Every structure is written in structure tokens, then in C-alpha cells.
């Protein structure tokens, strides 16, 4: 049933130009060349090294036509996935402009059933198409994912994000008028349906490379909200380009389009693994702060919403904003904090690093800022001495586990760190 729905959805998603605007021929020396079907678009003469025409076989048995445009000054390669109503013949002039202005090598391809490609267009055929073209870039041109930027326009955002989600070291991704999913273009839905295609809303979360989103504010085919949400859901979003007044098929004519895209390419060229990891950490920290999460460093809890951090152990300390704070080195207890405040009048916390239980009244405090043994200032147990090793003392005289008698001076430390006998005073021994 799901396959039938997907086939039906494909009928509404793909509109290949008919007849195709070009065809592929073989020259006497065995090389492939493209011949335009109209006078409006011309291809380089046969033998021109700036254009390679390829036919690539996919894992689903189709043969896909691809153009590779070479730039001698390029450091990166752009893999372009076009929209649902164009083919390589219509896009060739644009490819030449992008190759020159962005200083990149560019590989464009036609989906199954488009242009000179065989088969019929479908969601899963496009996935196989882009995988086959990427393999061609690897084997024929030596392009690794570290030197590759994926570019998807409209429906092309589907195969683009499909491949991007599988390449963790990809240099970057460009989503031009991208879609959240096929069904969401037609109507606003919050759930996934079996008849839906190109579930980009789920795949964008798996992309680990920088993502540039370009969208027109007056797009009447794919609403601007699609691009905005894709940008917000990206793990590493690049500064987006919202072209004011831009539609669905005319963003390339705006000057800011090529300027912003060029800046993105330059930033990707200058990006190293070290600087990229640093930027990811900064973005995560910035997002956490904007959400009000208690993501503090050890020994310095600072919640942006309230002054009461929470510990994950069995005590009753809770932050007013219901966020959670935990200290990994102490398994969630207060051994690494400065001054967490209890909501209740007193809380009991069991911490393995403290060699027993301690009772804190409102404000336990650390001796140092590192992982340490807290020096407790109890507000009620005035007769309780202080042990340099731990804070867990037991009164030998009273049956209660916690003695609050001001005149009781018979104490035994659980860790054997010391003992105060009767007759001793707090300031020293008597007699």
C-alpha cells in the first residue's frame, strides 16, 4: 500500500521537460558529448576539456546523464540536484556561471526519467541517482566528501539531504528553496503519512556538516516557512539568506544570491576540523543558553532562570525552572558545587565520594572549587564537631543517628578520622 501511495505522490512531484532539451551522442573517438535540442542553449564544442559528459549506471538499473564542469582554480566540488521541472539542458548556462563565480568544479545530473536519463522518476530512484553520481566523483575525479558541497534546489533537497545524512565528513550543504516533505508542500500537517515523500524534516537532523538555507520570502510554491524550519532544525546552521521578494524559480537573479553563496564557499574552504569542532561547541552552548538550560561548567552552576540548581540524587533539591543540573564527577551530588541552595529546610544526600551520608541545612559549601569534601555548617547540630576527612559523625551517647544536643561531646567519625571524648570542649581539651 505504501509503495502505491509513493508512486501516486511521484506523479504530482515530477514534471520532466518533454521533449528533453538535449540529447547525448557518442563521438568517433568514443567520447560522449551533449547536443542541444534548441538554439537557446549551446554546449562547448566536442573535445573541450571544460565539460565532461557522463552516463552513470545506478543500483536500480537506470542510466543517469551527468555533466562535470571543470574549473582549474577550484578547491571544492559542487554536486547540484535540480528542481522537478528542469533538466541539464536548461541549467547548463547557470552551471557555467556558478563554476566561474564560485570558483568550484560542478557536477550536475538528471534524475531517472529526466533529459537523457533512462527509467522513471521516483523518490527512491533519485536516491540511487545521487549515490551513483557521488561514486562517480570518487572514482573518476578523486573527490572525497571532505571536498564536496551538496546543493539541492526544491525537490533536489530530497536526494541532497539523503546523501548528506550518510556523509559525516561532508564539507557543506546548500538548500535552495528546500522542502520539509512532499506532503507538507500541499498542506500543513504535523504527522508523517505513508504517502509522503522526501521526509527532509527527519533527515536534516542527521546532517553533521554546515547547512546554508536560501529561500525567497514570496515563494508561492514552497512557503518560506519550510526553509526557516529546516534552518532551525540543522545541527550546524550557517547564516541563512532570506531573499526579500524572491519567488521559487528566480532567486539566481538577485545580487545577494551569488554574494552570499560565494561567502559560504569561501568559509567552507577555510574551515579546518579544529575550527569546525570549536564552532559546533559554541553553537551548542549558545542554543542551551537561549533555551534556559542549566549547562554550566563544574563548580560554577548558574541557571539563567533561577538561582537554585538541582541535584540528580535522592535529595529534594529542585530548580525553580524545572531544569536539571548534575555533576558528572560526583554522580549528581554536591561534592563539586559552590553553593547550591535547597528548596526545603534540609536535605539528605548520599554520595559515594563522601564515604557516607551527610546532612546539609540549606547551604552546603565547598572548601575549594575542585572536587572536594564539603565543609558543612549545620544550623541545628551545634554540638557536632568537624572532621578533616568527612562530615559523617555519630553520637556515642544519644540513640539518634543525628544528635542535635549542644552539650553532647561524645562523637565517633565513621571513617575513623577522629574522636572527641566527653570532657573535651570545642576550643580544646579540659583540665
In degrees and rounded to multiples of 5, residue 11 shows phi and psi of -65, -30
Cell 578547491 belongs to residue: 75
**Consecutive H or E run containing 92:** helix 88-102
DSSP notation for 241-297:
EEETT--SS-GGGSHHHHHHHHHHHHHHHH--HHHHHHHHHHHHHHHHHHHT-----
User: What is the per-residue pLDDT for 411?
Assistant: 52
**DSSP H or E run through 127:** helix 123-141
Shortest CA distance to 368 belongs to which of 335, 415, 326, 393? Answer: 335
> Which pLDDT does position 182 carry in this prediction?
74
Choose the CATH number for 1-21+51-280 among 3.40.50.1820, 1.10.1130.10, 1.10.760.10, 3.30.365.10.
Answer: 3.40.50.1820
pTM: 0.64
Look at residue 340 and give its three-state secondary structure: coil
What pLDDT does residue 48 have? 73
pLDDT tens digits along 84-122: 999 999 999 999 999 999 999 999 999 999 999 999 999
The confidence score (pLDDT) of residue 218 equals: 95
431 residues of the chain, pLDDT tens digit each: 445 545 545 555 789 999 999 999 998 888 899 998 876 556 776 667 889 999 999 999 999 999 999 999 999 999 999 999 999 999 999 999 999 999 999 999 999 999 999 999 999 999 999 999 999 999 999 999 999 999 999 999 999 999 999 999 999 999 999 999 877 776 666 656 666 788 899 999 999 999 999 999 999 999 999 999 999 999 999 999 999 999 999 999 999 999 999 999 999 999 876 676 777 677 677 767 665 544 433 333 444 444 444 444 444 444 444 444 444 433 334 433 433 433 333 344 444 444 333 444 333 433 333 333 343 333 334 445 555 555 555 555 555 545 555 445 555 555 554 444 444 444 444 34
Residue tagged active-site, from 181, 196, 219, 335: 219
d(CA 254, CA 238): 19
- Cα dist. 223→9, 123, 177, 188, 196 in Å? 19, 21, 8, 10, 17
Residue 176 falls in the annotated catalytic set: no
Residue 178 CA to residue 83 CA, distance in Å, equals: 10
Other CB atoms within 10 Å distance of the CB of residue 267 = 14
Alpha-carbon gap, residue 196 to 5, rounded angstroms: 8
Instruction: Answer yes or no: 310 catalytic.
Output: no
The residue whose grid cell reads 538548500 is 175
pLDDT in tens, 267-308: 999 987 667 677 767 767 776 766 554 443 333 344 444 444
Q: Residue-wise over 152-183: b if at least 16 C-beta within 10 A, else e?
A: bbbbbbbbbbbbbbebeebbbbbbbbbbbbbb
Catalytic-labelled residue, pool 82, 162, 248, 260: 248
Please pick, among 154, 181, 310, 335, the residue that the annotation labels catalytic: 154
Domain boundaries, the chain: 1-21+51-280
Among this protein's residues, is 154 annotated catalytic?
yes
Omega cis (within 30) before 206 = no
Residue whose C-alpha cell reads 537554585 in the numeric block:
308
Amino acid at each position: 500500500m505504501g509503495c502505491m501511495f509513493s508512486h501516486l505522490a511521484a506523479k504530482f512531484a515530477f514534471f520532466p521537460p518533454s521533449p528533453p532539451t538535449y540529447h547525448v551522442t557518442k563521438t568517433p573517438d568514443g567520447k560522449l558529448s551533449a547536443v542541444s535540442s534548441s538554439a537557446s542553449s549551446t554546449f562547448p564544442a566536442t573535445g573541450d576539456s571544460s565539460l565532461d559528459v557522463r552516463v552513470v549506471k545506478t543500483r536500480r538499473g537506470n542510466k543517469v546523464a551527468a555533466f562535470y564542469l571543470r574549473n582549474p582554480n577550484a578547491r571544492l566540488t559542487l554536486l547540484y540536484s535540480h528542481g522537478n521541472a528542469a533538466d541539464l539542458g536548461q541549467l547548463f548556462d547557470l552551471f557555467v556561471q556558478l563554476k566561474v563565480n564560485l570558483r568550484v568544479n560542478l557536477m550536475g545530473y538528471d534524475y531517472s526519467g529526466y533529459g537523457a536519463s533512462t527509467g522513471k522518476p521516483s523518490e527512491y530512484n533519485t536516491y540511487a541517482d545521487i549515490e551513483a553520481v557521488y561514486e562517480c566523483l570518487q572514482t573518476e575525479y578523486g573527490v572525497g566528501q571532505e571536498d564536496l558541497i551538496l546543493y539541492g534546489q526544491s525537490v533536489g533537497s530530497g536526494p541532497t539531504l539523503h546523501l548528506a545524512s550518510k556523509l559525516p565528513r561532508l564539507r557543506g550543504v546548500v538548500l535552495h528553496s528546500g522542502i520539509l516533505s512532499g506532503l507538507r508542500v500541499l498542506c500543513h500537517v504535523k504527522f508523517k503519512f505513508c504517502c509522503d515523500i522526501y521526509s527532509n524534516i527527519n533527515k536534516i537532523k542527521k546532517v553533521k556538516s554546515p547547512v546554508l538555507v536560501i529561500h525567497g520570502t514570496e515563494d508561492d510554491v514552497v512557503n518560506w516557512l519550510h526553509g526557516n524550519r529546516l534552518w532551525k532544525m540543522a545541527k550546524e546552521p550557517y547564516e541563512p539568506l532570506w531573499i526579500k521578494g524572491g519567488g521559487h524559480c528566480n532567486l539566481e537573479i538577485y545580487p545577494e544570491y551569488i554574494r552570499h553563496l560565494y561567502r559560504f564557499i569561501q568559509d567552507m574552504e577555510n574551515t579546518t576540523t579544529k575550527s569546525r569542532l570549536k564552532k559546533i561547541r559554541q553553537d551548542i552552548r549558545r542554543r542551551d543558553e537561549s533555551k534556559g538550560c542549566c549547562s554550566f561548567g563544574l563548580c560554577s552552576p548558574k541557571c539563567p532562570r533561577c538561582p537554585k540548581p538541582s541535584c540528580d540524587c535522592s535529595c529534594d533539591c529542585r530548580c525553580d525552572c524545572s531544569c536539571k543540573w548534575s555533576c558528572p564527577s560526583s554522580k549528581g551530588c554536591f561534592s563539586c558545587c559552590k553553593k547550591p541552595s535547597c528548596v526545603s529546610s534540609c536535605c539528605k544526600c548520599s554520595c559515594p565520594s563522601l564515604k557516607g551520608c551527610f546532612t546539609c541545612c540549606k547551604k552546603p559549601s565547598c572548601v575549594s572549587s575542585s572536587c572536594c569534601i564539603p565543609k558543612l555548617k549545620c544550623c541545628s547540630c551545634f554540638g557536632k564537631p568537624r572532621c578533616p576527612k568527612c562530615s559523617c559523625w555519630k553520637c556515642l551517647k544519644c540513640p539518634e543517628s543525628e544528635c542535635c544536643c549542644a552539650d553532647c561531646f561524645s562523637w565517633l567519625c565513621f571513617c575513623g578520622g577522629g574522636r572527641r571524648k566527653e570532657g573535651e570542649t570545642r576550643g580544646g581539651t579540659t583540665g
